[in-house]
Amino acid sequence: MSRTNLIVFGTRPEAIKMAPLVQKFLKNKNFVTKVCVTAQHREMLDQVLDFFEITPDFDLDLMRPNQNLYSLTATIIENMKPVLEEVKPDYVYVHGDTTTSMAVGIAAFYSGAKICHVEAGLRTFNRQYPFPEEFNRQLTGKIADYHFSPTELSKSNLLAENTKEENILVTGNTVIDALLYGIDKVNAENFKDAEIENLKTILNFQNKIILVTGHRRENHGDGLISICAALKTIAEKHPEVEIIYPVHLNPNVVGPVNELLGGIKNIFLVSPLAYPAFIWLMEKSYLIITDSGGIQEEAPSLGKPVLVTRTTTERPEAVEEGTVILLGTNTDSIIEETEKLLTNVDYYEGMSMLHNPYGDGKSAERIVNFIEAL
Ligand code: UD1
Ligand code: UDP
């Protein structure tokens, strides 16, 4: 008798990182696999579903403008009940550290399904940084039955919390499966993409392109103001540089960023890019400034230096290997480090080596094999 999977996600990064698993399970005849999106994100989620050609079986359509954590958590749990009752899954898969992951984990526990946590064991050990993600992933780790850790380090974090070793599998991060699939598709001869064509008209690729993203809740307010001040100074002092910032749709980000950086000649503020255009642009960039988790994992595979506007990271592997520097949000530190990378060729080259601390593109396959063998 075939077993039933329910794969659930809600935001852009979860969708990118779960897409390879959805694709693999849908091809496997030993499982019935259903996909549910909470749609904690809407436009930014739909962009990913389009690219990976995923049609969810259930779409809870829960995003509300400037939503808060209380109501989002409560509505996810409530809205998962009928889905879980209809599908009666043997296994529910959640990803990482969002409110969707944590709330779906709780609902899945109530349903009696086995809970499979993809991207398990990342830790900063500080519940306020990143907020609320560190709390979400610790809680999801407690709820989960099976833990798919991207690296040995994330596995050791789980072991230190007394998680049973036989329930942990080091898989690599599915973000690399997605990246390799994406890069292949984008570089295929017949691939046409309106966003990429548009980027070619607005940016001058003879210049050094700095790609920026930022959205973390703990950076809202002062942190974001300080980052924007650094970007403004860099743009003014370096006309040979073009800064492109696909601005996250969170109103606490869009508002201040447009106000502080709008109208500067070599700063281009654009809407969030769909995944193909974004990875194409990462490849073309000179350097990346970000507080994103996923981008810290992708950039080493593309050999791009990353300045992280956070003081802690749950992804220390690339910091140790030297492609990623943790800077925090201090304006002077961001300017100083960016200028060093713009002017010191040896320093730049030292940070631009290609390496893959986060996986080899076979993570989803390992997860499927593990579940199949249970
Ligand atoms: C969420 C996750 C964060 C993850 C990030 C990835 C939580 C608590 N936060 O943060 O861990 O790193 O996604 O991007 O789970 N919005 C839109 N359209 C969209 C997406 C967002 O308009 O497609 C706006 C809405 O007004 C929404 C707001 O952004 O209410 C905030 O979205 P939310 O998912 O709560 O927070 P993020 O900052 O996106
Ligand atoms: N990304 C994208 N378009 C953008 C910015 C990012 O497709 O305009 C992709 C990026 O390649 C990475 C993921 O979105 O895979 C990261 O998402 P985000 O930074 O929102 O969340 P985090 O990883 O910090 O949770």
* pTM of the complete model: 0.98
Q: 70 alpha carbon to ligand 1 midpoint, in Å?
A: 14
Q: 246 alpha carbon to ligand 1 midpoint, in Å?
A: 14
* Residue-wise pLDDT tens digits, 83-137: 999 999 999 999 999 999 999 999 999 999 999 999 999 999 999 999 999 999 9
* Residue-wise pLDDT tens digits, 138-174: 999 999 999 999 999 999 999 999 999 999 999 999 9
Predicted pLDDT of residue 354: 81
293 lines ligand 2 (CB under 6 A): yes
Predicted pLDDT of residue 263: 95
Calculate what percentage of the chain has a pLDDT beyond 70: 100
Band the pLDDT of 70: cuts 50, 70, 90: very high
Predicted pLDDT of residue 1: 76
Predicted pLDDT of residue 42: 98
Predicted pLDDT of residue 318: 92
**For residue 345, pLDDT beyond 90:** yes
Amino acid identity for residue 140 in this structure:
T
Distance CA 268, CA 211 (A): 10
Q: Which residue's CA is the closest to the ligand 2 atom numbered 24?
A: 292
The residue to mutate among 119, 250, 270, 292, having the most atoms of ligand 2 within 8 angstroms of its beta carbon, is 292
Which stretches of 215-322 are DSSP H helices? Answer: 222-237, 251-261, 275-284, 293-302, 317-321
Predicted pLDDT of residue 38: 98
130 lines ligand 2 (CB under 6 A): no
Task: Answer whether 288's CB lies under 8 Å from 210's CB.
Answer: yes
117 lines ligand 2 (CB under 6 A): no
Catalytic residues: 97, 119, 133, 215, 217, 248
The bound ligand whose nearest atom lies closest to the alpha carbon of 39 is 1
Q: 96 alpha carbon to ligand 2 midpoint, in Å?
A: 14
- Ligand 2 atom closest to Cα of 47? 7
Predicted pLDDT of residue 353: 86
Q: Are strands 208-212 and 168-170 parallel, antiparallel or unpaired?
A: unpaired
